Amino acid sequence: MESFRGKRVLVIGDVILDRYLWGNATRVSPEAPVLVVDVDKEELRLGGAANVAQNVRALGATPVLIGVVGADVAAHSLKRELNAREIDSDRGLVPDDTRRTTLKTRIIAHHQQVLRADEESRETVAPGVVEEVWTRVSRSLPDVEAVLISDYGKGVISPALLDRLLPELSRRGIPCAVDPKEEHFARYRKVTVITPNLAEASQAWGRKIRSPEDLLEAGFGLRKSLEADAVLITRGEEGMSLFTAEGHAHFPTRARRVYDVTGAGDTVVATIATALAARAPLPEACVLANHAAGLVVAELGTAVATAAALIDSLEDLPVG
Instruction: Give residue 318's pLDDT.
Output: 57
Is residue 29 in a domain? no
What is the arithmetic mean of pLDDT over 239-247? 95
Q: Model confidence over 175-207: pLDDT tens digits? A: 999 999 888 999 999 999 999 999 999 999 999
Lowest mean pLDDT segment, chosen from 108-112, 123-127, 162-166, 267-271: 108-112
Q: How much is the pLDDT for 302?
A: 62
What's the mean pLDDT in 285-309?
80
Query: pTM (2 decimals)?
Result: 0.92
Contacts 24+ apart (CB under 8 A), 94-98: 94/66, 94/67, 94/68, 94/69, 94/129, 94/132, 94/133, 94/136, 95/68, 95/69, 95/70, 95/71, 96/68, 96/69, 96/70, 96/71, 96/125, 96/126, 96/129, 97/70, 97/71, 98/70, 98/126
- Structural domain includes residue 127: yes
Q: Domain total for the chain?
A: 1
Q: Please, which residues bridge with residue 18 across strands?
A: 45, 104
Query: What digits encode the pLDDT tens for the residues 50-66?
Result: 999 999 999 999 999 99
Cβ neighbours of residue 216 under 8 Å, at least 6 residues apart?
248
Residue 72 has pLDDT above 60, yes or no: yes
What is the pLDDT at residue 320?
47
Tens of pLDDT, residues 130-182? 999 999 999 999 999 999 999 999 999 999 999 999 999 999 999 999 999 88
Average per-residue pLDDT for the chain: 92
136-145, 261-270, 272-281: range with lowest mean pLDDT: 261-270
Catalytic residue among 18, 96, 151, 266: 266
Q: How far apart are CA 116 and CA 219, in angstroms?
A: 33
The mean pLDDT of 209-230, rounded to a whole number, is 96
Report the range of poorest mean pLDDT among 32-46, 49-63, 83-97, 261-275: 261-275
The C-alpha atoms of residue 2 and residue 20 are separated, in whole angstroms, by 34
Least confident of 38-47, 104-113, 300-309: 300-309
The answer to whether residue 34 is domain-embedded is no
pLDDT of residue 309: 83
- 95: in domain: yes
The β-bridge partners of 145 are none
Q: 90 falls in which pLDDT band (50, 70, 90)?
A: confident
**Residue 257 in this model has a pLDDT that exceeds 70:** no
Residues 87 and 302: their CA atoms lie apart, in Å, by 17
Whether residue 12 lies inside any domain: the answer is yes
Establish whether 260 is a catalytic residue: no
> Measuring CA to CA, how many Å separate 310 from each of 120, 124, 177, 273, 313?
33, 36, 20, 15, 5
Considering the domain boundaries, does residue 240 fall inside one? yes
Q: Evaluate whether residue 31 is within a structural domain.
A: no
Look at residue 266 and tell me if it is in a domain: yes
Domain that holds residue 219: 2-24+39-315
Q: What is the CATH number of the domain that holds 181?
A: 3.40.1190.20
- Strand ranges (E), the chain: 8-13, 15-28, 35-47, 62-69, 93-95, 102-109, 112-119, 146-150, 176-179, 193-194, 230-234, 240-244, 247-251
